[in-house]
Each structure stands twice: as C-alpha cells, then as structure tokens.
Amino acid sequence: MFSNERKQKIIEILLQTPSVRVAELSNLFQVSEVTIRRDLQELEAAGLLKRTHGGAVSITTASFEPALVEKEEEHLEEKKAIARAAVDLIAEGDTILLDAGSTTLQLARLLKANKKQRLTVVTNALNVAWELAFVETIDLILTGGHLRNRTLSAVGPIADNTLQGLYVDKVFLATNSLDVERGLTTPNIYEAHTKQKMVNAGCEIIVLADHSKFGRISLGLICPVTAVDRIITDAGAPAEDLARLKERGVEVIVAGGN
C-alpha cells in the first residue's frame, strides 16, 4: 500500500472512531511504528488530525467532505455569480472540461440555457452530464470511471486514462480547499489524482472557488497555485490571499466585483 493510500485509510478510520493507536495501525498496515508515526506527523502538519501520546485523535472538520447535496445549498448566490463570470470566458467552438462540483454544476446550467453556443464538453460529473445531455449544440464526452456517490464524480484509472489522452482549451476546476502556500487540495486522494490529470489536459486552468475554500488544507494535493491561470471567486475571499495569488502570476476575477 502506498503512503498516500495508507494516510487516506487512517483518516477514514478516524471518521468512524475518535482515536487510533500507533501499535494498532502498525499491525493493521503491516508497516513499522516509525512509518506510522511519520504518517501521523504529516497528517497533523496538514491539519487533518491531532497526535497524542501513542496515537492520534480526529479533527473531523478538517477531513470531512460534505455530500454534493449539502454543498449545493452553501453560498449559492456566490456560486451562481462565479458561474456567470466563468461563462463569459467560454467562446464559440471551445473544447472545455467541467470538473465535478457544486459551482461547476451552476456553470453547466448556464451552458444548458444558452443552447446556441457550439461547444465540446468533457466531464467526469454525472450531474453535469445530465444537465448537458440533451443540448444539441454541445458535443458531450464522459470520462467514465468509478463513481463516488458522495460527489457524483467519476475517478480512478478509467477516468485518469481517458483524461490522459485528451487536450482541451479550458479546464474549469473545482476544489475543496485553497491555500496559497500548500496549493489546491481535496479530502479524497483518488479524486485528487483525477483532478491532477485534468490540470495536465488543459491549455488554460480556471479554478472556481467561493470564499469558504480559502485558507483550508485537505489531504490530497491537486496542484500548486502556480499551475493555475485564473481563479474566479467572490468578494468574501481574503484580500491578502488574492494579492498573494496575483504576485504568483495567477489572474484573479472577483465575481460581481468592479
């Protein structure tokens, strides 16, 4: 088992029980206690648990991934504004990739309403695909893959292999967490890996992230912020973070701003 997979399993165990012991994890994963302590140290550094003498305890808010139905209702007006700003970046004939996420779903609904624009859309999101399935001007490509029912996203080797053979004009990427220093992250390592393939497939990477995503770190790294061309957010995003992003060469669009 790879280190990232082992750490993902540790987080999953802590979602079920409030604490774990180093000796128990060492026996479970058949690795040394030194290796487990290193895993716990890295997870604590990422803000995903708190180490204790002989083990660790859960920090549920850091690793919890809300279901899509919950995320859809959070900051809904901000997400709609971000989607409106994003749709202005899409030109006739573009080939675009829509990641799974509540804000990219809002973007898909806008594309559905504008039935005159001819596009090719690649997506790994079941709900995004359903929104666009009957739009005659959109050539829709699904990645396939293992469906995560919590996010309605297809991830894993099938999705990754499909994405590895594609190149698109623009990727509209979702993220659970955005930290200027640590980059874009998400709680599930398989989702993170599929998002990495999306980043590699795009000529232009556009992140859609409302203000609640800033200053947070999750388990799986998607990419550093320097791999992103644009970030579209709302007026609630921390001004200091936006300034630091611009210093790193990332264009920032504040939806609804002047």
Per-residue pLDDT at 56? 84
pLDDT tens figures, 51-87: 877 888 776 544 455 555 556 667 899 999 999 999 9
- Full-model pTM: 0.77
pLDDT tens figures, 152-194: 999 999 999 999 999 999 999 999 989 898 899 998 889 999 9
d(CA 35, CA 22): 9
Per-residue pLDDT at 164? 95
Rounded mean pLDDT, 34-50:
87
Per-residue pLDDT at 59? 65
Question: Where does 3-63 sit in CATH, by number?
Answer: 1.10.10.10
Per-residue pLDDT for 9 more than 60? yes
Please, where in the chain does CATH 3.40.50.10470 lie?
Answer: 68-254
Phi, psi of 185 (to 5 degrees): -140, 160
Helix (H), strand (E) at residue 154 = strand 153-155
d(CA 193, CA 98): 16
Please, where in the chain does CATH 1.10.10.10 lie?
Answer: 3-63
Per-residue pLDDT at 7? 92
Q: What is the DSSP string of 164-215?
A: HT--EEEEEE--SEEETTTEEEES-HHHHHHHHHHHHHEEEEEEE--GGGBT
Per-residue pLDDT at 62? 44
The CATH class of the 68-254 domain is alpha beta
pLDDT tens figures, 108-155: 999 999 878 899 999 999 999 999 999 999 999 999 999 998 889 999
Per-residue pLDDT at 53? 72
Per-residue pLDDT at 66? 58
pLDDT tens figures, 188-227: 889 999 999 999 999 999 999 999 899 887 878 999 999 9
